Amino acid sequence: MTTQRQSRRPVDLIAAARRARRRARADFSTFKVGAALETAEGAIVTGCNIENATYGLTVCAERVAMFKAISEGHRAFRRIAIVADTQDPTPPCGACRQILWEFGGDLEVILANLRRVTGRHRLSELLPQPFDARLLK
Ligand code: THU
């Protein structure tokens, strides 16, 4: 059984997402995004967006964070912080909402820019009426 740790402070999660954002490979769009996912045990797994010359094989920061976390053995998650250098909130794209929902459930989603928090949501608010494995039974 894994030990449940106390929640991370949102400020720490956002700081981790800001650091991850600096590692983004946004060579084509120049739009850098960082994400930091908090696991149920209180670990933080980060991601940044990674673009390539085909454009279409781009992976967003949120999915990089989730896939890294899954591959490292994490199975339950609490929150994700997403950081972009924008005045308006940068919410996750549709593909990321689906992946976050299927592997993370009703996460708290904290949106931030380089200075401040720009939004706080539950994933169920961003992805109402989701399609997921329950419908396949
Ligand atoms: N992007 C993310 O990584 N996350 C988001 O929430 C929105 C978009 C990336 C994909 C692409 O590399 C760049 O931002 C522009 O769309």
Q: How far is the CA of 131 from the centre of ligand 1 (A)?
A: 22
For a mutational test of ligand 1's pocket, the pick from 60, 96, 100, 113, i.e. the residue with the most ligand atoms closer than 8 A to its C-beta, is: 60
Residues catalogued as catalytic: 62
Q: What is the pLDDT of residues 35-70, one digit of tens each?
A: 999 999 999 999 999 999 999 999 999 999 999 999
pLDDT band at 15 (very low <50, low <70, confident <90, very high): very high
- The residue whose two tokens read 């010359």 is 53
- Closest ligand 1 atom, residue 32 Cα: 14
Domain at 4-136: CATH architecture: 3-Layer(aba) Sandwich (3.40)
Q: What is the pLDDT of residues 83-131, one digit of tens each?
A: 999 999 999 999 999 999 999 999 999 999 999 999 999 999 999 999 9
Is 38 touching ligand 1 by the criterion CB < 6 Å?
no
pLDDT band at 8 (very low <50, low <70, confident <90, very high): confident
pLDDT band at 4 (very low <50, low <70, confident <90, very high): low
Average pLDDT over residues 4-33: 94
Indicate whether 16 pLDDT > 70.
yes
For a mutational test of ligand 1's pocket, the pick from 18, 22, 31, 68, i.e. the residue with the most ligand atoms closer than 8 A to its C-beta, is: 31
Residue nearest ligand 1's atom 2 by CA? 60
Is 64 touching ligand 1 by the criterion CB < 6 Å?
no
pTM, rounded to two decimals: 0.96
Instruction: List residues bridging with 79 in a β-sheet.
Output: 38, 108
- The residue whose two tokens read 């609490």 is 78
